[in-house]
A and B are shown apart, each in its own frame.
Chain A
Amino acid sequence: MALTETDLRRLARLARIRVEDAEVGTLVTQLSGILGLIDQLQAVDTHGIEPLSHALDLEQRLRPDEVTEVDRREQFQAVAPQVEAGLYLVPKVIE
């Protein structure tokens, strides 16, 4: 499967990764190469094989429903760029 420039720009936007115009060509070639490997994998007949959801053959461990965390907001917010009234401040996210 070959990637187009449009696909690449869309993926970059979804992943919030800035891609310079000069890089687009190289990235399309490189990513298409990776997709080529996936095509090879897809070609394998997996009929009758159960999909693998995790590489480890183990079950999810469950913990009891207990509050074990204390309020450590001061420590967490000490490394935040900007806080006010207990809130983390970020660039406005609504038009």
Chain B
Amino acid sequence: MDWEVVIGLETHAQLATRSKIFSGAATAFGATPNAQACAVDLALPGVLPVMNRTAVEYAIRFGLAAEGVIAKRSIFARKNYFYPDLPKGYQISQYEIPVVSGGQIVVELEGLEIPVRLTRAHLEEDAGKSLHEDFHGLSGIDLNRAGTPLLEIVSEPDMRSAAEAVAYARALHRLVTWIGICDGNMQEGSFRCDANVSVRPKGQQAYGTRCEIKNLNSFRFMEKAIEFEIRRQIGLIESGGNVVQETRLYDPDRDETRSMRSKEDAQDYRYFPDPDLLPLCIDVAWIERVRNALPELPDAMRRRFVSDFGLSSYDASVLTASFDQAQYFQALMHFVQGEAKLCANWVSGELSAALHRDGLEIRHSRITPQQLGGLLRRIQDGTLSGKMAREIFDALWSDGGEADTLIESKGLKQISDVSTLEKIVEALMAAHPGQVAEYRAGKEKVFGFFVGHAMKACGGRANPAQLNAILKNRLAGK
């Protein structure tokens, strides 16, 4: 039977605020356990939550960037469950009226643009962390993360393959980091995805029973976990079984998902409006201020790179993969005008490779756009060949400096002067009459011999295109 896969994603994006959503404790990652857990985060008696304005502003920013609707009035609810890393016995979240409704993320996959609809995005607080090792049969609780602001972004079940789900997650990740509301660090848990996966016979309207997979903390694991889950569900149904609705955990070591909670413990969160928090009111003026401060968004920038710079859609996509990379490219274009393709190639080629090799983010690049621009201008005007430019690039990368100074000191100026190259070629032909005769007799392989010797004669600095043209002409007897 042919099966159709149906996937929806729930993503928790940690908002990049300095303080927590309902308290003035710090949110910095990696602090000593419980050093950033204040009385509100610990749920000591008598404390009250006070809402962080920036967390709300980030939610508005996301809602506008994703073309959703910002609720003028939204309310907070208590989601009740018991776990030691949740000291209040409930998580403050939004239930009936979220801050953002609707919206969409346009996902690019294999040259196609697939719109994925969003159901909602709501504000909530994170829980603490439980550590289960090394405490002589007890669990250790670190509440530093308790109260960290999260935006939970829920998609519609619009994705039809693991690849689409991953492409959506990547596009969402790019958007939240692009607009500066989340640092996107998946290792530190700043961007966490849960996937709801089900299968149904092709053509069937009703959805199959879904399972929720948790713990997808990298794009690679997400794809593998969903692939596994699809195979598991299809195998189960085809062998006469039924999929049971449950939460499953992905185990990357064994590349499988397994059941997390027993059915007996079926959750009932008994949501109700939190009497500690008044309705959150967002006026039109605030929304407009946020809208006016939004940066150009990735899709718009990608289209502009195609229309204004004549880049291919592929190049434009690569360059707009992150806000910082797009900024770098634009700064570089400022120094090397009219050479978009050259700039694109160097940013996504040499520069990316060097950054990757040294494990650096582009905003910490060892070569500034101005330095790289100085180098590319010398390719543009024919001073440097691609090979020489790479040599200068490596020198700039390791020792800094300016391209022009390095070209001078290394004696790397490319020889593009026709008369100089002609002299070299003529001398070479005079010295090797035998090879000239062979070439003229139709043995074209000998051409390589002349290129090699000519390059050697000028220390590898000949402009290759020009040298080839001159050699072809002269050898042909013109």
User: Which residues of A come within 8 Å of B, CB atoms?
Assistant: 14, 16, 51, 53-56, 58-69, 71-73, 76-77, 82, 84-94
User: Which residues of B come within 8 Å of A, CB atoms?
Assistant: 17-19, 23-26, 32-39, 42, 44, 50-56, 75, 80, 82-84, 96-97, 130-132, 135, 137-143, 268, 270, 273, 275, 277-281
B138 pairs with A69, CB closer than 8 A: no
Q: How far is the CA of A51 from the CA of B53 in the complex (A)?
A: 25
List 8 contacting pairs A-B, 8 Å CB cutoff, sorted by A: A60-B51, A62-B53, A63-B50, A65-B54, A66-B18, A76-B34, A87-B142, A91-B139
- Neighbouring B residues of A89 by C-beta, 8 Å: 135, 138-141
Smallest distance from the beta carbon of B78 to chain A beta carbons, Å? 12
Q: How far is the CA of A63 from the CA of B22 in the complex (A)?
A: 9
A92 pairs with B37, CB closer than 8 A: no
Specify the main secondary structure of chain B where it touches its partner. loop
Specify the main secondary structure of chain A where it touches its partner. loop
B25 pairs with A67, CB closer than 8 A: yes
Specify the chain B residue showing the minimal Cβ separation from A70.
B38
A60 pairs with B19, CB closer than 8 A: no
- Neighbouring B residues of A93 by C-beta, 8 Å: 83-84, 130, 132, 139
B51 pairs with A62, CB closer than 8 A: yes
Say which residue of A63, A68, A92 sits within 8 Å of B139 (CB atoms): A92
A69 pairs with B25, CB closer than 8 A: yes
A61 touching B36 in the complex, CB below 8 Å, given contacts A53-B75, A86-B142, A89-B140: no
A54 pairs with B278, CB closer than 8 A: yes
Specify the chain A residue showing the minimal Cβ separation from B265.
A13
Smallest distance from the beta carbon of A64 to chain B beta carbons, Å? 6
Q: How far is the CA of A66 from the CA of B138 in the complex (A)?
A: 35
Smallest distance from the beta carbon of B236 to chain A beta carbons, Å? 24
Smallest distance from the beta carbon of A93 to chain B beta carbons, Å? 5
A87 pairs with B270, CB closer than 8 A: no
- Neighbouring B residues of A56 by C-beta, 8 Å: 278
Name, among B18, B38, B96, the residue most crowded by chain A CB atoms within 10 Å (CB to CB).
B38
- Neighbouring B residues of A92 by C-beta, 8 Å: 132, 137-139
Specify the chain B residue showing the minimal Cβ separation from A68.
B24
- Neighbouring A residues of B51 by C-beta, 8 Å: 60-63
A60 touching B138 in the complex, CB below 8 Å, given contacts A69-B26, A76-B42, A93-B130: no
Q: How far is the CA of A67 from the CA of B52 in the complex (A)?
A: 11
Q: How far is the CA of A87 from the CA of B51 in the complex (A)?
A: 27
Say which residue of B23, B34, B142 sits within 8 Å of A69 (CB atoms): B23
